[in-house]
Amino acid sequence: MERTPIDVADALARVGDDREFLKELLEIYDEDLTARVAGLREALAGNDLKAVEQLGHAIKGSSANLSLPFLRDRAAAIELAGKKGDAATALANLARLEKEFQKLRDHLRGNPL
Amino acid sequence: MKILVAEDDKVSLRILEKNISGWGFDVDLAGNGEEALRMLRGGDVRLAILDWMMPGMNGIEICRSVRQEGGPKYVYIIMLTSRDRGQDIVEGLEAGADDYMSKPVNFLELRARIQTGRRVVELEDKLLESNRMLKDLASRDNLTSLWNRANVFQFLEEDLIRGRRESRPVSAIMIDVDNFKRINDTHGHLAGDVVLIQIAKRLERGVRPYDKVGRYGGDEMLIVLPGCGFAEVTAIGERLRKSISGEKMRTPAGDCEVTVTLGCSSSELVPDATAETLVQASDAALYKGKSMGRDCVVVGV
């Protein structure tokens, strides 16, 4: 069985079982992550690893908030790579993060809240 | 109570806002550190929830600035940190944070911690209020609620300094109740007290809003009149005299006719006037008035 990108029960528990609110938050998250992914690409192109670390940290936080464990893990790896100054690892994890992001969108389309 | 939430992550910010406003608090939102500090300086925020990591100014820097600047009222600060950043906690508390929580936030816990913060802030407000009341109480005369001797004397000193700087005169009026001993002997001490209270009320009603009326001794009162010259002080003194003698005083021992004698002095008439010399000149005028037959206003030099 394929793993699900979001732990809906966990996320709902955090927002007081308010499905509408969780939907709103996922919309904010989608918009935000799109901008942050672009930001990460730009930071990596400019070799600004401090910004890579910060963006990774930010994505990690909001992913954890919405019970998105795989996106959270990728973001944590990007943050760490940024901190270590390892651009190659950051880039590899960014590609995987984008795949996870696509999986989340597909999943939510197929399984609306 | 108004709560400020500063967090650069839009998802977290929205979750925090929804929960905290759902608990009945007024929530202000800041998306970055600079904005948060600006809102904290605004003054009506009493509790702040600050994210540690924010681009620009981070939570710890905001915390330090707030504590350094002091501000009129204490702001209770809760810092949010990531679970994996244990060293942050010590640094955060050292920078002046009151509490910290790790993210993702457990909202039952956050609510409890906000309640704790609210208790601290309310306690602080009560303390400030009772300090203010005690200070006021200590500066007032118990019986008449007029300023006490030390305070009215201090007002005179301060007004003289200000008057010199602004080239404006300051006047002082010393007032003594005529035959106060006889009032006490005839009607009793309780009636004497009531007479003093009523005189205090009439004097306060008769002076300008920025004049200060103090109880200087047993039945002596001192009034400090900033920006008032000798011509004016005589007129005010006369008005005050009439306000006392013009209407009988009602006491538990029956109505009682009371008069006062007033000695006035002004910095215009006393060279290099100090609080001491001005009070002396008023005193001398007062005793002259007593020897002239009481119930009168005398201006001294």
ipTM for the predicted complex comes to 0.85
- Write down the pTM of the prediction: 0.65
pLDDT value at position B8?
86
Which helix (H) or strand (E) is A11 found in, with range? Answer: helix A8-14
Q: Inform me whether the C-beta atom of residue B11 falls under 8 Å from chain A C-beta atoms.
A: yes
In what helix (H) or strand (E) does residue B49 lie, and over which residues does it extend? Answer: strand B45-51
Cis preceding linkage at B209, omega within 30: no
- Using pLDDT thresholds of 50, 70 and 90, give the confidence band for residue B136: confident
Least confident of A98-107, B80-89, B231-240: B80-89
How many Å apart are CA B296 and CA A36, to the nearest integer?
86
How confident is the model over B54-72, as a mean pLDDT?
87
User: B179 in the Ramachandran plot: left (φ > 0), alpha (ψ -120 to 50) or beta?
Assistant: left
Confidence (pLDDT) at B2: 93
Q: Tell whether the model's pLDDT for residue B226 goes beyond 60.
A: yes
- B197-206 per-position pLDDT tens digit: 999 999 999 9
Which residues on B lie below 8 Å from A14 (Cβ)?
A: 15, 104, 107
Q: Is B132 on the interface with A (CB under 8 A)?
A: no
* Secondary-structure percent of chain B, ordered helix, strand, coil, rounded to 5: 50, 20, 25
Task: Say which residue, B70 or B286, is predicted with more confidence.
Answer: B286
When pLDDT is averaged across residues B85-109 and rounded to a whole number, the result is 84
The pLDDT, as a whole number, for residue A29 is: 96
Is A1 a residue whose pLDDT tops 60?
no
Nearest-CB residue to A65 (from B15, B18, B55): B15
Of B10, B15, B53, the CB nearest to A15: B15
Give A-chain residues touching B14 at CB under 8 angstroms: 24-25, 28
Q: Judge whether B221 and B154 are in contact, CB under 8 Å.
A: no
Give the residue-averaged pLDDT of B109-120: 96
B82–A65 C-beta distance less than 8 A: no
Average pLDDT over residues B294-300: 93
Whole-Å CA distances, B7 to A58, B104, B105: 10, 13, 13
Q: B12 CB near a chain A CB, below 8 Å? A: yes
pLDDT at B186 over 60: yes
**Beta-carbon neighbour count of residue B156 at 10 Å?**
26
How far off is chain B from A62, nearest CA to CA, in Å?
A: 6
User: Hey, are the CB atoms on B82 and A15 less than 8 Å from each other?
Assistant: no
Q: Find the residue in B nearest to A25 (Cα).
A: B11
Determine the pLDDT at residue B204.
96
Give A40 or B256, the one with higher predicted confidence: A40
Nearest residue, CB atoms, B53 vs list A15, A29, A57: A57
Domains of chain A by start residue, with CATH: 8-108 (1.20.120.160)
Q: Which residues of A touch B11 (CB under 8 A)?
A: 25, 28-29, 32, 62, 65-66
Instruction: Report the share of chain B in percent with pLDDT over 70.
Output: 98
In which band, very low, low, confident or very high, does the pLDDT at B38 lie, cut at 50, 70 and 90?
very high
Distance of alpha carbon A61 from alpha carbon A41, whole angstroms: 19
| pLDDT of B141 above 80 | yes
Residues in a beta bridge with A14: none
Instruction: Check whether B208 has a pLDDT greater than 80.
Output: yes
pLDDT at B122: 94
pLDDT-derived band at A2, boundaries 50, 70, 90: low
Mean pLDDT rounded to a whole number for chain B: 92
pLDDT at B84 over 80: no
CA B122 to chain A, closest CA, distance in angstroms equals 29
Q: Is the pLDDT of residue B86 over 90?
A: no
How would residue A112 be classed by pLDDT, with cut points 50, 70 and 90?
confident
**Rounded mean pLDDT, A18-27:** 94
List all residues of chain B from 102 to 121 with a beta carbon under 8 Å from chain A. Answer: 103-104, 107
A61 has a pLDDT exceeding 90:
no
On chain A, the residues whose CB falls within 8 A of the CB of B8 are 58
pLDDT band at B83 (very low <50, low <70, confident <90, very high): low
**pLDDT score of B14:** 92
Q: What is the pLDDT of residues B246-287, one digit of tens each?
A: 999 998 888 989 999 999 999 998 888 999 999 999 999 999
Q: Map out the domains of chain B with their CATH numbers.
A: 2-137 (3.40.50.2300), 149-299 (3.30.70.270)
- Per CB-CB distance under 8 Å, the chain A contacts of B82 are 57, 60-61
> Does pLDDT of B70 surpass 90?
no
Instruction: Mean pLDDT check: name the lowest of A26-35, A90-99, B8-17, B284-293.
Output: B8-17
CA angle in degrees (0–180, nearest 5) for B80-B84-B87: 75
**C-alpha to C-alpha distance for A93 and A106, rounded to whole angstroms:** 20
Q: Nearest C-alpha of chain A: how many angstroms from B131?
A: 43
Residues in chain B within 8 Å Cβ distance of A65: 9, 11-12, 15, 103-104
Query: A with B: how many residue pairs have Cβ under 8 Å apart?
Result: 48
Q: For residue A61, which residues of chain B lie inside 8 Å, CB to CB? A: 9, 12, 82, 103-104
Confidence of residue B158 (pLDDT cuts 50, 70, 90): very high
